[in-house]
Amino acid sequence: MELSINIQDIIHVLSVLFLVYGLVIISGYIFSAFFSIIEIRDYKRKNNFQDEVALLQSANLPSISVLAPAYNEEANVVENIRSLLTLNYPSFEIVIINDGSKDGSLQKMIDTFKLEPEELVHYHHIPTQKVRGIYRSKVKAYRNLRVIDKENGGKADALNTGINCCNHDLICCIDVDCILERNALLKLIRPFLNDTKRVIASGGIIRVANNCVIEDGRILEVRLPGTFIARAQILEYFRAFLMGRMAWSRVDGLLLISGAFGMFDKETVIEAGGYDHSTVGEDMELLVRMRRIMREQNIPYSVGFVPDPLCWTEVPENKEILLRQRNRWARGTVETLMKHKKMLFNPRYGVLGLLSTPYWMFFEWLAPIFEFIGILFFALLLVLGLVNLQVFAIFFMVIYSFSVLFSITAIFFEEYSFQQYKKPKYMFQLMRTALLEPLLYHPIVMWAAVKGNIDLLRGKKSWGQMTRTGLGSTTKK
């Protein structure tokens, strides 16, 4: 009796906490929905009547270096490069960084594009693994292509090598297996052209390419993936990009530009020291560091965000791969937050300190952990036979209905903005996915995030050992 009353007290306190937390989440949701819809509307209004043709003709447009790291990509690398070479932009180079692949990627590129070694001269802006060779094609049609062959050092190290070896002041970092729209560079560079302040980066929306009809590196028809796990990720991407990042961009609090597709001012990247290869979340960490440095030096700057569907990528349809990916994302988030914990709640960093970093801490890092603890607690109550079915049903309903509402709103945003899934069938499938996702998919990613935290804690103990095994082992796709 004594025990059960104490537990009742705890339950009461927890319920109130639950409510407060819920209210915070709801306000976060309203905040992002509101700002994002304004941002999308303004973007559409600004851009629906003008086009980029004027830009294409100018010889005074800044040149862009497209950096694409490749690790064991033999199967597709040639096709991917071919489609990169047909991007619409007056002046750009494609720099493929072969990060010590163990397959025949390099030879395949050399043969197809008739590459010949160039002199090994390059800058040392950022320290990297050794460069083994720089190749360039003598064929005119491929004159924009350059291939860097280096010793394996991971994605961050490969990108840093690309920064050292490329020619232009703007760099566009992409995953080599991404599918880019032809006007992707023209669209992504717009923030750099429009702002008279220093623009340090601009990012785009990532779209899910699974099951789309793709030919020669172009999306011919957008289709909904056949598997539930991929469809659930589509909803996730809608929520993260159309609602989340659009809203963050509106209030100038964007912290993450996806590593699969982002443009950066090279000088600022170099000033910041390039990609950090000690974290698995190098893309997030770089932007946070760049923004932090700008803020600390009081340089007015801006970060752009382009909502057009420009970059398509394959998402994991295999549960194991998904678990690994989310595990890595969770570790990347925590590592970045830890490295920049000084910014948390620090008014000196403005929106970043007071809104963005706390948001990342509570929603991206701690939310899955709280949730997990909540489930454990619930399991305990269940074992003790203290669960009141009616109470449980109501709590469950509020969480569930909120999750579904969140996803449905995201679908609405997609319909309102770009409407890529044209068939009515797709729309209903997505809605059905929204109903099932909180029950069947969400637990998987939550567990991956929790596991990521556990791995990180364990990893920290053996930190010394890890550094001795060398950087090569950290390479992940």
Can you give the binding site for other proteins, defined by CB under 8 A? 5, 8, 12, 15-16, 19, 22, 26, 45-46, 49-50, 53-62, 82-83, 85-86, 88, 90, 119-125, 140-141, 182, 190, 192-196, 215-218, 267, 390-391, 394-395, 397-398, 401-402, 404-405, 408-409, 411-412, 415-416, 419, 424, 427, 431
- Smallest gap from Cβ 49 to other proteins, in A, equals 5
Whose Cβ is closer to other proteins: residue 149's or residue 335's? Answer: 149
Whose Cβ is closer to other proteins: residue 120's or residue 380's? Answer: 120
In sequence order, the β-bridge partners of residue 450 are: none
Q: Is the separation of the CB atoms in 353 and 345 below 8 Å?
A: yes
- Smallest gap from Cβ 1 to other proteins, in A, equals 8
Whose Cβ is closer to other proteins: residue 120's or residue 376's? Answer: 120
**What span, in angstroms and rounded, lies between the C-alpha atoms of 466 and 449?**
21
Q: In what order do the strands lie in the sheet with 64-70?
A: 115-118, 131-137, 145-150, 92-99, 64-70, 170-174, 261-265, 198-208, 301-313, 179-180
- Smallest gap from Cβ 327 to other proteins, in A, equals 31
Strands 301-313 and 179-180: antiparallel
Whose Cβ is closer to other proteins: residue 30's or residue 382's? Answer: 30
Whose Cβ is closer to other proteins: residue 120's or residue 379's? Answer: 120
CA distances from 401 to 16, 26, 393, 436, 438 (A): 19, 12, 12, 11, 9
User: What is the residue type of 195?
Assistant: D
Whose Cβ is closer to other proteins: residue 16's or residue 454's? Answer: 16
Q: What is the CA angle 470-276-282, rounded to 5?
A: 105
Closest CA relative to residue 349, chosen from 301, 297, 295: 295
Residues 6+ apart with CB under 8 A from 37: 413, 416
Whose Cβ is closer to other proteins: residue 170's or residue 322's? Answer: 170
- Smallest gap from Cβ 197 to other proteins, in A, equals 9
Whose Cβ is closer to other proteins: residue 91's or residue 325's? Answer: 91
Residues 6+ apart with CB under 8 A from 75: none
* Coil, helix or strand at residue 429: helix
**What span, in angstroms and rounded, lies between the C-alpha atoms of 301 and 420?**
33
**What span, in angstroms and rounded, lies between the C-alpha atoms of 107 and 74?**
9
State the DSSP string of 248-270.
HHHTT------TTEEEEEHHHHH
- Smallest gap from Cβ 88 to other proteins, in A, equals 6
User: What is the residue type of 254?
Assistant: L
- Smallest gap from Cβ 149 to other proteins, in A, equals 15
Whose Cβ is closer to other proteins: residue 13's or residue 338's? Answer: 13
- Smallest gap from Cβ 416 to other proteins, in A, equals 6
